[in-house]
Amino acid sequence: MKKTAKTLSSAALIAATAAAAYGVALANDGDHGRHDRAERRAEMIERMFTRLDANEDGAIDMAEVEAAQAARFSAVDTDGDGMISADEMKAHAAERAAKRAETRFAKLDANGDGGVDPTEMAAKRKGRHKGMFERMDADGDGRVTKEEATAAKQHRHHHGKRDAD
């Protein structure tokens, strides 16, 4: 029974790690095309295996998952007392947020000048906004009415998709 619970717990950890990584990938990339999503999923799986497949045999076993859990816990438990305090959790979250912000900034700064101008910001979002607009414009007249927007939102809700903005 304990082994089953441990297996389920570890499987949940893997799923949560994968979901979190995928969420970060989506947040870091303004273009939400299907091809790009498939590419990001493949990259996320590759990162997961790089992180968890310690013996590099092409498979992740429970020992590797448990070792990764222990290492992650130790990384957050900076004072090594075997418990994670609220301050340690906040510091860890801030560190991860800073890394995500750096990654996102690097993607937005297309010309590498150390700043993001309105053109770079618009270029990153243009594809996503255009795609959303085209999906909502049911009659293809180049305008989105309240009815079309409402219908699109209901369609997304019924198909388990979150609103993009």
Give residue-wise pLDDT tens across range 3-35: 544 444 555 556 555 555 555 444 444 444 566
The pLDDT, as a whole number, for residue 57 is: 93
Task: Tell me the C-alpha to C-alpha distance, in Å, between residue 24 and each of 84, 86, 104.
Answer: 23, 23, 10
The predicted model gives 131-152 an average pLDDT of: 87
DSSP 8-state code for residue 161: P
How far is Cα 34 from Cα 48, in angstroms, rounded to an integer? 21
97 lies in some domain: no
Q: Of 88, 119, 137, which marks where a domain is finished?
A: 88
The model's pLDDT over 39-95, given as tens digits with 9 standing for 90+, comes to 889 999 999 999 999 999 999 999 999 999 999 999 999 999 999 999 999 999 999
Domain count along the chain: 2
pLDDT at residue 159 greater than cutoff 80: no
Residue 91: name the closest of 79, 81, 76, 103 by CA: 76
Please compute the mean of the pLDDT values over residues 110-136 and round it to a whole number.
Answer: 82
| Residues 8 and 61 grouped into a single domain | yes
113 pLDDT more than 50: yes
Is 3 within a domain? Answer: yes
Last residue of a domain, one of 40, 55, 88: 88
Residues 5 and 84 in one domain: yes
- pLDDT higher than 80, residue 107: yes
> Is 26 within a domain?
yes
Secondary element (H or E) of residue 53: none
Measure CA 132 to chain center: 20
Q: What is the DSSP letter of 54?
A: T
Is 98 among the domain residues? no
User: Do 30 and 132 contact (CB within 8 A), yes or no?
Assistant: no
44 and 118 co-located in one domain: no
Mark whether 4 and 71 lie in a shared domain. Answer: yes
The end-to-end CA distance of the chain, in Å, is 44
Are 4 and 83 in the same domain?
Answer: yes
**Residue 124: burial class (beta carbons within 10 Å; 0-12, 13-18, 19+):** middle
17 neighbors 27 (Cβ within 8 angstroms): no
* Same domain membership, residue 58 and residue 2: yes
Structural domain contains residue 93: no
Name the percent of the chain lying above pLDDT 70: 71
Residues 129, 65 share a domain: no
Question: What is the predicted pLDDT for the residue at 1?
Answer: 47
Boundary residue ending a domain (57, 88, 119): 88
Query: Which range of residues forms the domain containing residue 139?
Result: 109-165
Q: Are residues 47 and 12 in the same domain?
A: yes
User: With left for phi above 0 and alpha for psi between -120 and 50, is residue 56 left, alpha or beta?
Assistant: left
Whole-model pTM above 0.85?
no
Q: How confident is the model at residue 121 (pLDDT cuts 50, 70, 90)?
A: confident
pLDDT of residue 126: 67
Both 72 and 117 in one domain: the answer is: no
Are residue 6 and residue 36 in the same domain, yes or no? yes
pLDDT for 60 equals 92
What's the one-letter identity of residue 158?
A: H
pLDDT band for 100, please (50, 70, 90 cuts). Answer: very high
Q: Which two tokens stand for residue 66?
A: 């448990």
User: What is the Cα–Cα distance from 119 to 127, expressed in whole angstroms?
Assistant: 13
